Amino acid sequence: MFDRMVGLSRGETNFIRGGIAQDLRCDGRNRLSYRSINVESGVIPQANGSARIKIGGTDVIASVKAELGRPSSSRPDHGKVSIHVDCSATATPMHQGKGGEELSSELALALQRGLLGSKSGAGAGIDLSSLCIVEGKTCWDLYIDCLVVSSDGNLLDSLGAGIKAALSDTGVPRVQVIAADASSSSDQPEIDVSDEEFLQFDTSAVPVIITLTKVGKHYIVDASAEEESQMSSAISISVNRQGHICGLTKRGGAGLDPSVIHDMISVAKHVSEQFLNKLDSEIAAAQARQEES
């Protein structure tokens, strides 16, 4: 679904598969290691929050814009979040034309499922209740826009990390609800939005997405484009700091035994701790650099 088609010779294919089987990948990593991670914060000044993240050769930008809106009738005590993904035509040839549009839609849907959690609240991801201002009347709508600048595998995880970094940079204006005039016919409360005071968005429960890609008998994290071309199936599992599973997406034609899926979830939980620690460290360093500049 999100995989870049890469033409490889039989020798290259055998080299990739053989390395993964021996737990020594082409770039020297083992099966559960990530490539280098680099984060920049505040890359789009006009947004409420933004970040650029590079994982290996995959490069994405995420921005967050907060606007006042009205809660949905089904969830009157929650705000709303919408995610849009745009794949640059220069990222890879498959991103051009209709292929890029389909990929963008698939990625946005997977991110919605993985980062927002279930509607029942079990394993919740982004806390939508914190975006409610007046129940049933006024809330914050967060518009998250992502741009894929360069793609070299593991696109979904990179976008999820970029969104988490952008939310960590997001300041939502402080608001004051002014008592409505009893004689007013409007059912909308009057809201005073501060231009100077901002509340930092709480990202403590925002998950990361860990994709385990199955190649041969083994599965790996942070697959490169060449490794993704050899996959039989993959599972993307979103996990937050508390170890809660917020979403799960499977792709690829090959089926997986339930016991294998259970093991992959356990591995994803373990890997997520290391990835979150590294990501949080990079986000903190990026914010420190931003404050110094």
- Kindly report, residue by residue over 193-203, the tens digit of the pLDDT: 888 899 998 89
Q: What is the pLDDT of residue 186?
A: 62
What whole-number distance in Å separates Cα of residue 123 and Cα of residue 244? 5
Structure letter (DSSP) for residue 45: T
The tokens describing 104, both together, are: 């963008």
Burial of 186 (0-12, 13-18, 19+ CB in 10 A): exposed
Q: What is the pLDDT of residue 62?
A: 98
Is 227 a member of any domain? yes
Write out pLDDT tens, residues 8-20.
Answer: 888 889 999 999 9
Is 107 a member of any domain? yes
Q: How many other C-beta atoms are found inside a 10 Å radius of the C-beta of residue 136?
A: 14
Say which CATH number the domain at 249 has: 3.30.230.70
Q: What is the pLDDT of residue 205?
A: 86
Is 247 a member of any domain? yes
Domain count, the chain: 1
What whole-number distance in Å separates Cα of residue 234 and Cα of residue 91? 22
Is 2 a member of any domain? no
Planar angle of CA 26, 249, 111, nearest 5 degrees: 95
Could you list the residue range(s) of the whole structural domain that residue 204 is in?
A: 10-292
Q: What is the pLDDT of residue 92?
A: 67
Q: What is the pLDDT of residue 178?
A: 84
Is 3 a member of any domain? no
Is 1 a member of any domain? no
Q: What is the pLDDT of residue 122?
A: 43
Enumerate residue ranges in the chain where pLDDT < 50: 4, 120-123, 182-183
Is 181 a member of any domain? yes
Contact 206, 126 (CB under 8 A): yes
Q: What is the pLDDT of residue 27?
A: 93
**Total residues belonging to the chain:** 293
- Looking at beta carbons, which pairs linking 14-22 to residues 24 or more positions away fall under 8 Å? 16/215, 16/226, 16/227, 16/230, 17/215, 17/216, 17/230, 20/215, 20/216, 20/218, 20/220, 20/227, 21/216, 21/217, 21/218
